[in-house]
């Protein structure tokens, strides 16, 4: 087995034009505080073996981290509890993600080029008119996207483990390993599992909003929205209406602080809504969303019901020692749009770059430099990106209506009209 020096020999001096070459990041706000960390090389390197990293969670962030770690020569383990699971998600991805992360076009179900925002009185306005002829919003299914990313990580050398992460034993010293405990599922039996353990040098927690890795490092809690979604198979002639169209519904009936949506998938539509302030009434809001779209989805059959939390803000603590949280586990998602794909992928990519530096001796193996660097590179990069994405949409949706709700004025502001 190659030594850690050999495993990363080709990474010691990357040209500045290299795709994965780390770049210094600066905080946005008052002044310019550089967060690029150059730590001492005093930590001992691993004797005669590559760095071992476990990625918990096989979503976009976990898949991105596992793939690039494996490509860098790191012994990588990707633990996902349901490799065949269709995770709840609206499924919209930005065009930049397709090119930036080299996604094949055949995993995109629909290319949305039109979007309608529909007022409480069902008056609609076209938005997204700034899209150029070649631009679109991609609609994907999580079961397709996640599977593709995991398989790509596996092809790069990552070991996929179909298991449920339970907890981990923290290291007794700065150089001691983490011991992970998980249930390994038997692929031939839906009810059979066995308890297993795994020792690793570092851990990336990409296990979603209810992250067990976050609990293991006492990462703190965050406020969250609850999103509810139904996948509805509608008649073919009605599906043609949503060929390249997505809809957003606003009003206190569908949500007092969020919005309802109809997003097209391959052969069905996803109809959903969300709320932060009235979680107990989510099913009533969902029924109202379905009712608002009833003429366009009439004759449809519900084929799947999904619900999931959406973080409202990052967790107070995203790094501890040699453990880092990414994606929804860290709270990297835009609270208004629910958009997290690109943030998850970017966070996963930033995290694995830091593990590379640690393996090359450029970060403090005890966790100090690593933690500071991760907060600088992952946190500042992703949070700045998040703020840029969210400001426009949230600025519209946070307008208070005359009735005290959030969405009553949205379409009026967009259309510059006084009343509906």
Q: What is the DSSP letter of 177?
A: P
Q: What is the pLDDT of residues 320-371, one digit of tens each?
A: 999 999 889 998 876 554 444 444 444 445 554 555 454 444 444 333 444 4
* pLDDT the model gives residue 168: 97
In angstroms, the CA 145 to CA 89 distance is 11
Output the six-digit token pair for 123: 């008056």
Query: For 302, phi and psi rounded to 5 degrees?
Result: -70, 120
pLDDT of residue 370: 46
Residues 6+ apart with CB under 8 A from 227: 88, 90, 258, 272, 273, 274, 307, 308, 309, 310, 338
| Residue pointed to by tokens 């008056």 | 123
Burial class (CB in 10 A: 0-12, 13-18, 19+), 12: exposed
Q: Which of 4, 263, 224 is nearest to 108 (CA)?
A: 263
In the chain, which residues have pLDDT < 70? 1-47, 85, 190, 334-420
> What Å distances lie between residue 213 and 56, 96, 243, CA to CA?
8, 30, 40
- Residue range 4-10+27-86+143-221+314-391 forms a domain whose CATH class is alpha beta
Looking at residue 19, its pLDDT comes to: 36
Alpha-carbon distance of 341 to 4, in angstroms, equals 32
Using N-to-C axis directions, what is the helix angle for 341-359 and 60-71, rounded to 10°?
Answer: 30
Helical residues (DSSP H) of 179-324, grouped into ranges: 212-216, 236-239, 282-292, 294-297
CATH of domain 92-140+223-312+395-415: 3.30.9
Phi-psi category of 234—alpha, beta or left, where left has phi over 0 and alpha has psi -120 to 50?
beta
DSSP secondary-structure letter at 116?
A: E
Residue ranges per domain, the chain?
Answer: 4-10+27-86+143-221+314-391, 92-140+223-312+395-415
Is the distance from CB of 348 to CB of 354 less than 8 angstroms? no
Q: What is the DSSP secondary structure assignment for residue 11, as one 8-state letter?
A: G
> What pLDDT is recorded for position 336?
54
CA distance 210 to 247: 29
Rounded Cα distance between 172 and 168, Å, is: 12
Contact 168, 216 (CB under 8 A): yes
- Quick one: pLDDT at residue 372? 42
pLDDT above 70: percentage of residues in the chain: 68
d(CA 68, CA 152): 10
């Amino acid at each position: 087995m190659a030594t850690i020096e050999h495993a990363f020999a080709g990474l010691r001096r990357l040209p500045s034009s290299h795709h994965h070459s780390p770049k210094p990041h600066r905080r946005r706000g008052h002044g310019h505080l550089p967060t690029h960390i150059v730590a001492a090389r005093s930590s001992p390197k691993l004797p005669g073996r590559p760095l071992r990293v476990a990625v918990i969670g096989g979503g976009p962030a976990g898949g991105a981290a596992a793939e690039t770690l494996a490509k860098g020569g790191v012994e990588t383990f990707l633990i996902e509890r349901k490799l065949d699971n269709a995770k709840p998600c609206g499924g919209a991805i930005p065009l930049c993600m397709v090119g930036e992360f080299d996604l094949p076009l055949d995993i995109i179900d629909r290319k949305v080029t039109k979007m309608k925002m529909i007022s409480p009185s069902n008056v609609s306005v076209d938005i997204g008119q700034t899209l150029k002829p070649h631009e679109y919003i991609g609609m994907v299914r999580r079961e397709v996207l996640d599977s593709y990313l995991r398989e790509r990580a596996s092809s790069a050398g990552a070991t996929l483990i179909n298991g449920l992460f339970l907890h981990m034993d923290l290291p007794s010293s700065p150089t001691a390993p983490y011991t992970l405990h998980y249930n390994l599922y038997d692929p031939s039996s839906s009810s059979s599992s066995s308890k297993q353990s795994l020792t690793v040098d570092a851990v990336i927690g990409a296990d979603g909003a209810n992250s067990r890795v976050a609990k293991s490092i006492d990462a703190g809690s965050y406020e969250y929205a609850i999103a509810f979604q139904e996948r509805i198979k509608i008649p073919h002639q009605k599906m043609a209406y949503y060929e390249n169209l997505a809809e957003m519904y606003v009003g206190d009936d569908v949500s007092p602080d969020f919005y309802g949506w109809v997003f097209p998938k391959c052969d069905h539509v996803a109809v959903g809504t969300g709320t932060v302030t009235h979680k107990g009434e989510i099913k009533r809001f969902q029924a109202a969303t379905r009712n608002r779209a009833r003429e366009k989805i009439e004759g449809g059959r519900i084929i799947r019901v999904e619900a999931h939390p959406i973080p409202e803000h990052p967790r107070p603590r995203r790094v501890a020692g040699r453990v880092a949280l990414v994606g929804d586990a860290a709270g990297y998602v835009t609270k208004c749009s629910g958009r997290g794909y690109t943030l998850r992928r970017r966070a996963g990519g930033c995290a694995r770059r830091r593990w590379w530096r640690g393996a090359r001796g450029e970060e403090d193996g005890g966790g100090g430099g690593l933690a500071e660097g991760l907060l600088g590179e992952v946190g500042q990069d992703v949070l700045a990106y998040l703020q840029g994405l969210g400001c426009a949409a949230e600025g519209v949706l946070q307008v208070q209506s005359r009735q005290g709700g959030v969405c009553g004025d949205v379409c009026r502001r967009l259309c510059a009209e006084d009343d509906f």
